[in-house]
Amino acid sequence: MLRPTLTALLLAAAFPAAAEPLNYNVVEFSESAGMEVPRDTMTARFQVRAEGKDRQSVNTAFTQKFNSFNRKAKNSAFKTELLSRNAFPRYQYHNGKRIQTGWEEHAEFRVESKDFAALNRLIAEAQNEAHVEYTSFSLSKEKRESVIDEVSKSAINRFKQRAQTLAETLGHRSYKIVKLNLGHIGSGTVSQSESVQTKMYRSAVPMAASMDAEALETASPGSEEISITVDGTVQM
């Protein structure tokens, strides 16, 4: 009787292991799709500030400004966030000695809105309580996710259409997707007018409170292009 080990060796010699199947008519390629989307969210950063020699009078003035601005910013059209609030003494040095010369209080608010006209009105109406440090425009999370879904579908459809075209060109009736990778999602600025708006708002601080808020709505928020690339392998 042959030993088990010898039997295994003889069988391996008589029936060699099957070779790995060869993949024929395999094509790798990529397709992309993109969409230009107007920015739908405006953000403004405000600073409320009071300063003077007497701590109590500074606090009183600051509190009035703070509460007044806070009331105006409590609007269903706004998403308002208090970023910081600080109070501290001010000093000067005289003959090597530090001398307290006054007191300062300030707070910073971030206000976000999809209603540009409403936020522009807040900027104009709140000049006596707060000044704008900067403004910016962006794409909301909901809008971005919606666009990414739409662009992804478009890129996949382009991939499928190209795969069918390649299959027919190579003399095949159909194809099979072997691998599909939803790759890089890109986002870039198409147009930008943010600096114009920021300059307008900063120069608005010394203006009269009766400034026409409608004039601030002329600048465009710009737009972004969101793109996605699909990489894949198909077999004819």
Q: How many CB atoms lie within 10 A of CB 70?
A: 16
At 110, which CATH number? 3.30.70.360
Q: What is the pLDDT of residue 21?
A: 59
> Is-contact 44 121, C-beta < 8 A?
no
Q: How far apart are the first and last CA of the chain?
A: 51
3-state SS of the chain: helix, strand, coil percent to 5?
35, 40, 25
Q: How far is CA 30 from CA 79, 113, 157, 188, in A?
A: 41, 38, 12, 20
> What is the number of domains present in the chain?
2
Same domain (yes/no): 89, 31: no
Residues 157 and 94 in one domain: no
Percentage of the chain with pLDDT > 90? 66
Q: Judge whether 223 and 36 are in contact, CB under 8 Å.
A: yes
Q: Are residues 165 and 128 in the same domain?
A: no
Shared domain for 45 and 100, answered yes or no, is yes
- Is 201 inside any structural domain? no
Residue 164 belongs to a domain: yes
- Note the pTM of the prediction, 2 decimals: 0.72
For residue 95, what pLDDT band results from cuts at 50, 70 and 90? confident
Determine the Cα–Cα distance for residues 120 and 212; give it in Å rounded to an integer: 10
pLDDT given at position 36: 94
Q: How confident is the model at residue 196 (pLDDT cuts 50, 70, 90)?
A: very low
Confidence of residue 201 (pLDDT cuts 50, 70, 90): very low
Q: What is the domain extent for residue 229?
A: 20-40+139-192+208-236
Same domain, 51 and 29: no
Phi, psi of 76 (to 5 degrees): -60, -20
Q: Does 146 share its domain with 235? A: yes
**How high is the pLDDT of residue 192?**
53
* Residue 189 bridge partners (DSSP): 224
Q: How far apart are CA 203 and CA 200, in angstroms?
A: 5
Q: What does the alpha-carbon distance between residue 227 and residue 224 come to, in Å, rounded to a whole number? A: 10
Pairing relation of β-strands 41-52 and 26-38? unpaired
Task: Indicate whether 33 and 100 sit together in one domain.
Answer: no
> How far is 11 from 190, CA to CA, in rounded Å?
68
Axis-axis angle for helices 116-125, 55-73 (nearest 10): 160
The Cα–Cα gap between 139 and 224 comes to 8
pLDDT in tens, 1-57: 545 554 444 444 444 555 555 668 899 999 999 999 999 999 999 999 999 999 999
Specify the pLDDT at position 4. Answer: 53
In this structure, the answer to whether residues 56 and 129 fall within a common structural domain is yes
Q: What is the pLDDT, as a whole number, of residue 208?
A: 41
Average pLDDT score, the chain = 83
Last residue of a domain, one of 93, 110, 138: 138
- Contact in structure between 34 and 226 (CB atoms under 8 Å): yes
89: which 2 tokens?
Answer: 């003494």
The verdict on 119 and 159 lying in the same domain is: no
**For 120-160, what is each residue's pLDDT tens digit?**
999 999 999 999 999 999 999 999 999 999 999 999 999 99
Banded model confidence at residue 91, pLDDT cuts 50, 70, 90: confident
29 and 68 both lie in a single domain: no
234/151 same-domain check:
yes
Q: Using CA atoms, how far apart are residues 176 and 160, in angstroms rounded to an integer? A: 10
At residue 206, the pLDDT reads 42
Examine the pLDDT at 211 and tell me if it is beyond 70. Answer: no
